[in-house]
Structure 1
Amino acid sequence: MPSEISVSADTPMPKAYGFLPKGNRYKTLHCRKLTHKAARPLYIVLENKKQIGLRAPLAILDKVHKQAKQTLSTRRAATNKRDATDIAKASAEVEKQFPQMPQDERETVLKHGFKKHSGRVGRTNSIPLSRKVLLAVIAHVRHRHTAYDALLDQGIDREDARKSTRKDIERLLQKWGYLQGTLWKVRR
């Protein structure tokens, strides 16, 4: 593997190199690939032990910036298509697990629990869709249909507030047609 060298932000910039800040996955990936392909050193720029970007040859940076601009609309269209497919799958799973859930509640769960870049359970790839849907619906019910938030505001411990709202959550989920057994046995 071609060399990657960690440097601090204060380290002088090598001649004919430029800086690519962290944040654009497409540019970072292609900058890394092209620099390795050219057998040139790639500098990983660190500040307080955290990566803040890359230093790569200027010619490669220019090429990557141009490619990113040229392919932006195609990549966005592909992302939107993928996102729409993911939401459709999640919607079908909500319908399957909770057939009596009102449409407005379903839309709220999908809009909130599966919101992009939110860090919410619906966005994780580490658990199966059926589990993501269940956890998103439980969170929705907990916050919208129980006294959970009021209990937290009163200074009640999070776990105690969750325990005291479980029966209310189970009742509503069963009303919405959830039949797959006890909700609380499987931990995240």
Structure 2
Amino acid sequence: MAPREITVSPSRPIPTGYAFLKKGIKYKTLHCRRLTHEAGKPVYIVEHRKKVLGICVPQPIFDQVQAQADETLAARRLATEQRDAALIRTAAAELDKQFPRIPKVDREKVLAHGFKKHSGRVGRTSQIPLQRKVLYAVSAHIRHAHTRYEAILDKGGNRDDARKAIQKTVQDTLRFWSATRGRK
């Protein structure tokens, strides 16, 4: 049985009848790869110095996926916006549950910053439960907005020392915001 995926260098010519799809567009990569496998053809993975640059797939499959991507773009964007809005609503409910006394301005900043799409921030990870994401996002907000953390770093302090220096303030604020009285 022929290999389904073959790793090649960028200097190797693209096989006849194949097109190059650069890395970065998950929708196209997923569908090109799946359709190529279903057609029983190999997918060529183009790598340079162990870094994937993209894939080569049969030209008709490339063209088909390109057309589908164009046709479905608006619907996929809408679905993404709806998922993102649902995540923010769920995070807001969890934030209100854990920290009922968080000031409104801080609440909005935590949601906008800690759950910002494509930010790499804790709120966007799928690796930890929502309760922890909210706790970590609130802790980070307190650290950066309500302590001397940034000033310590600006004066040349290292992160570990700065975190130790402000730890009590963060913990005290977390306790105060989580007390079960009405929001400020």
Q: Is the shorter-chain TM-score for this pair beyond 0.5, marking a shared fold?
A: yes
Q: Which residue of 2 aligns with 1:33?
A: 34
Q: Matches of 1:37 and 1:177 in 2, distance apart?
A: 53
Q: Matches of 1:149 and 1:92 in 2, distance apart?
A: 29
**Deviations 1:66-121, CA, capped at 9 Å, x for gaps:** 00011111111111111111000000011001001111111100100000010001
Amino acid at match of 2:149: Y
TM-score (norm 2): 0.94
Deviation of 1:178 after TM superposition, in Å, equals: 5.0
Deviation of 1:154 after TM superposition, in Å, equals: 1.4
Structure 1 residue matching 2:178: 3-state secondary structure: coil
Amino acid at match of 1:85: A
Deviation of 1:171 after TM superposition, in Å, equals: 1.7
Deviation of 1:177 after TM superposition, in Å, equals: 2.1
Q: Matches of 1:64 and 1:158 in 2, distance apart?
A: 46
Structure 2 residue matching 1:54: 3-state secondary structure: strand
Q: Which residue of 1 aligns with 2:99?
A: 98
Q: Matches of 1:7 and 1:126 in 2, distance apart?
A: 32
Q: Which runs of 5+ in 1 are unaligned?
A: 180-188
Structure 2 residue matching 1:151: 3-state secondary structure: helix
TM-score (norm 1): 0.92
Q: Matches of 2:87 and 2:115 in 1, distance apart?
A: 9
Q: Which residue of 2 aligns with 1:165?
A: 166
Q: Pairwise CA RMSD of aligned residues?
A: 1.3
Amino acid at match of 1:95: D
Q: Could you list the structure 1 runs, at least 4 aligned residues long, displaced by more than 4 angstroms after superposition.
A: none
Q: Matches of 1:178 and 1:137 in 2, distance apart?
A: 14
Q: Matches of 1:172 and 1:12 in 2, distance apart?
A: 61
Q: Which runs of 5+ in 2 are unaligned?
A: none
1:132–1:178 CA distance, 2 compared to 1 (3 A): farther
Q: How does 1:128-167 map to 2 (within 5 A)?
A: 128-167=129-168
Count of residue pairs brought into register by the alignment: 179
Structure 2 residue matching 1:176: 3-state secondary structure: helix
Which structure ranks higher in relative contact order (CA pairs < 8 Å, sequence separation ≥ 6)? 2
Quick check: 1:125 aligned with 2:132?
no
Q: How does 1:74-89 map to 2 (within 5 A)?
A: 74-89=75-90
1:97–1:56 CA distance, 2 compared to 1 (3 A): same
Q: Matches of 1:161 and 1:104 in 2, distance apart?
A: 25
